[in-house]
Structure 1
Amino acid sequence: MPSYRLPEIHRSYTPRPATPAPPAPSAAPRPPTGPSGVGTSAARLAERLADDSPRESAVRVPPLYCPDAVRDDPALGDEVNRRLVEWAEEIGIYEGRLDKLESCQFGHLMMLTHPDTDDPDRLLAAARCALSEWSVDDHWVDEGEDAAPELIGPRLALAHAVVDPVRLPVRYAPEFERVVQKEPVLRAFRSALGHLSLIASPTQVARLRHELAVMFVGYGQEAEWRTSSRVPAVWEYLMHRYENAFFPCMVLLDPIGGYELPPQEFADARVRGTYLYAGTAAVLLNDLYSMGKEDPTDTNLPNLIAREEGCSLQDAVDRTADIHDELMHTVEAEAAALAAAGSPELGRFMAGLWNWMGGSKHWHATSPRYN
């Protein structure tokens, strides 16, 4: 089994200097061009942001404080990716978009973020869960044929009824089942959690159910922004990123690694706080790397900072990077302290959290999805 490593504590931290704003472009901001692609969770507020957001033609993402990937095994990533695309075709998600799905290399993301296993079946279990989560966004929010925000509430209720299986009276259960069988996203969740339960304890599956329920709350918040054409404040967006982040992926660290973090340690407030900081930092990294492929009017932290504070987009990108780095330094110090004081399983979990972020950074920097 590959080794894992604990984060080292680096206490010195100096915020990066402000970057001078680049010259304003001669061309006007381009209009919205439609969905931004697989896995994008930012709500669209084109009409408001197109008028209000400063936008530059060339924006540089500065170096970010984040570990490197522990391992990169392209052959293993290719195998997981191949099996994932086959499963998606079987379930019916991303119909007509399988080539695009394959090119995103989500199998490589799982290989990079779970370096303590080289078992493709375990990595595929994580990949199925992740793709089910992203299919909510891509089928019902951004890219679906009927991506109507007013339908998000009832659709998420159906998804939760599959994730935390509902038991209806016998007379009415067949009606619910007919709806599930007609909807690929619902079938994907059922299949993914079924496969996960083969390697995870009931407690570990319950943890994923909780994180999915929180994620569904975040999707509901996005739907309100879209239906009301309301642009969220920066503080509200940061709160939103505590709800709509990579937590459902990261909570699978121990079942995919083949161990279980004791419940009392998982529920400890300090452990939970470190885990939430890590997930928020990871999704802010995603905000930065995904800007190049998204429409300029998408809702992400740099766009909102630029709009709210009237600064250049480059300054807003740099400030987002500072926030990311501040979170990362806190995660680094807290994870090391918790690992030293807790059980061996907690030490492994904290190391896995750190390594997950390094693998995610590597994937964002190299995946054709963003490059």
Structure 2
Amino acid sequence: MTRTSGAGVPPWTWNGPPAAQPPVLPTAPTLHTTAQALPAPPSHVALDRLLAGPAGLGTAAAHAFRSLTPSTASRAAQSARPDEVPPSAAQDPSAGQDTAVRIPPLYCPDAVRDDPALGEEVNNRLVDWAAEIGIFTGRLERLRSHQFGRLFMLAHPDCDDPDRLLAAARCGLSEWSVDDHWVDEGDDTEPELLGSRLAMAHAVIDPVRLPARYLAQFEELVQRQPVLRAFRSSLAHLSQFASTTQVARLRHELDVMFVGYGQEAEWRSSGRKPAVWEYLLHRYENAFYPCMVLIDPVGGYELPAHEFADPTVRRTYLYAGMANVLLNDLYSMAKEDPGDTNLPNLIAAEDGCSLQEAVDRTAAIHNELMHTVEADCAVLTTAGSPQLRRYLAGLWAWMGGSKQWHATSARYQNAN
């Protein structure tokens, strides 16, 4: 592969995203009314946990991100020596078999709350649902040990309702089941079949309208495919808490994720390794966006459509998702094969550097994205509605909860 760079500039240099610009947002009509009535929101105790300080715009907007910036411990970690950071089990082939790759400090908030009992309840109910649907058959105890329910407890600190958290967790596990059944680990992971399977999944999440005589054949297929049943069940559960607009937002993010899975299948079937730029593009498609888009329905409110679609809000949301999935690339190295496609492996191959240096560069990109997200959120909270302020605080808290889960889940800490 070839690469280009400016004279005297290292080819891997990340100059960072462009500076934030204040958005042009019309006055929202949602200060006193909402477009659709939603079920009762979570308790004020959970909301107070997320949003500190006085209500309203102005000073409250400043308080939101002053209180949610990385903790003192996290900031101290930025200056920690590399040998103080726990190593990953991934091996650096350029440094011999006994050299573990170390993940450098990552700029990211800490989890806002950790309620082990709530996380355990959501996790147990999630595993029971997986058994009922038929996903992860034969792997249920392994699934339980991964503590996906804990992820959603950590990621949504403004919600104490286990049923709302379970709704998000079911959607998330349905998405992971595509990866774990059809892409990476299942008994039937044939790349040439993935396109057809994703088409069937799309026909479930955005219900297909077939003539009656043909619809029965499609329904027979759904009943034979646990992954399809999982999507149908999880969306039905989510609809108890989310508006039609919020469910449509999830459908869009799932569609984009399916595009990313198709791209990855081409790499696998052809044996082609993508260039770094192509992989980064892919990670804007195959990331945590279907989980992150549920921040407001789980919290019991709705971000107005004009703010959700605002280009600056969208940019911030996409940068946050990209940062989070790069964190996933780093933490998942321990459980992946050395030749698997992730950003550190691709940087090492393209630039001819050690895997440790590639990991450090990946972390630098993550950290630059996080600094940009933090700055963008501070600007946006002063210009938008109270719902936008709460949504961005939830986005920041989501990243902290996700980081905590990645750092502690057996899915990434044990290579089994």
Give the match's secondary structure for 1:291. helix
Matched, 1:69 2:111: yes
Tell me which residue corresponds to 2:65: 7
Cα deviations by residue, 1:156-193 (Å, 9 ceiling, x for unpaired)? 00000000000100111000000000000000000000
Tell me which residue corresponds to 1:83: 125
What code does the residue aligned with 1:172 have?
Y
Tell me which residue corresponds to 2:215: 173
Cα deviations by residue, 1:188-212 (Å, 9 ceiling, x for unpaired)? 0000000000000000000000000
Q: 2:378 aligns with which of 308, 331, 336?
A: 336
Q: 1:322 aligns with which of 359, 364, 369?
A: 364
When the two structures are superposed, what TM-score results if normalisation uses the length of structure 2?
Answer: 0.79
What code does the residue aligned with 2:168 have?
A
Tell me which residue corresponds to 1:150: 192
Give the match's secondary structure for 1:292. helix
Matched, 1:104 2:146: yes
Give the match's secondary structure for 2:179. helix
Give the match's secondary structure for 1:224. helix
Give the match's secondary structure for 2:411. coil
Matched, 1:243 2:296: no
Tell me which residue corresponds to 2:335: 293
Tell me which residue corresponds to 1:47: none
Whose radius of gyration is greater, 1 or 2? 2
CA distance in 1 between partners of 2:320 and 2:239 (Å): 25
Give the match's secondary structure for 1:299. coil
Q: 1:219 aligns with which of 261, 269, 279?
A: 261
Q: 1:125 aligns with which of 167, 173, 183?
A: 167
Cα deviations by residue, 1:31-74 (Å, 9 ceiling, x for unpaired)? xxxxxxxxxxxxxxxxxxxxxx7465311101100000000000
What code does the residue aligned with 2:322 have?
T
Cα deviations by residue, 1:205-228 (Å, 9 ceiling, x for unpaired)? 000000000000000000110111
Q: 1:135 aligns with which of 153, 177, 182?
A: 177
Give the match's secondary structure for 1:172. helix
Q: 1:111 to 1:234 in 2, by over 3 A?
A: same
Contact 1:64 1:325 in 2 (8 A): yes
CA distance in 1 between partners of 2:300 and 2:163 (Å): 12
Contact 1:19 1:315 in 2 (8 A): no
CA RMSD of aligned residues (A): 2.0
CA distance in 1 between partners of 2:262 and 2:330 (Å): 23
Tell me which residue corresponds to 2:314: 272
Contact 1:163 1:189 in 2 (8 A): yes
CA distance in 2 between partners of 1:241 and 1:158 (Å): 23
Higher relative contact order (CA 8 A, sep 6+): 1
Q: 1:300 to 1:58 in 2, by over 3 A?
A: same
CA distance in 2 between partners of 1:244 and 1:358 (Å): 20
C-alpha displacement at 1:18, in angstroms?
A: 12
Give the match's secondary structure for 2:157. coil
Give the match's secondary structure for 2:105. coil
Cα deviations by residue, 1:85-123 (Å, 9 ceiling, x for unpaired)? 000000000000000000000000000000000100000
When the two structures are superposed, what TM-score results if normalisation uses the length of structure 1?
Answer: 0.88
Contact 1:16 1:322 in 2 (8 A): no
C-alpha displacement at 1:7, in angstroms?
A: 2.8
Q: 1:320 to 1:111 in 2, by over 3 A?
A: same
What code does the residue aligned with 1:340 have?
T
Contact 2:151 2:405 in 1 (8 A): yes
Give the match's secondary structure for 1:244. coil
Matched, 1:93 2:135: yes
Q: 1:54 to 1:152 in 2, by over 3 A?
A: farther
Matched, 1:345 2:345: no
What code does the residue aligned with 2:65 have?
P
Q: 1:202 aligns with which of 217, 239, 244?
A: 244
The alignment-based identity, stated in percent, is 72
Tell me which residue corresponds to 1:259: 301
C-alpha displacement at 1:16, in angstroms?
A: 8.6
Contact 1:336 1:350 in 2 (8 A): no
Give the match's secondary structure for 1:370. helix
Matched, 1:281 2:323: yes
Unpaired runs of 5+ residues, structure 1, are 21-28, 31-52
Contact 2:348 2:355 in 1 (8 A): yes
Contact 1:67 1:358 in 2 (8 A): yes
What code does the residue aligned with 2:163 have?
D
Larger displacement relative to structure 2 (76-85 or 292-301) = 292-301
Give the match's secondary structure for 1:59. strand
CA distance in 2 between partners of 1:368 and 1:193 (Å): 27
CA distance in 2 between partners of 1:19 and 1:73 (Å): 30
- The count of residues paired between Structure 1 and Structure 2 equals 338
CA distance in 2 between partners of 1:63 and 1:340 (Å): 30
Tell me which residue corresponds to 1:187: 229
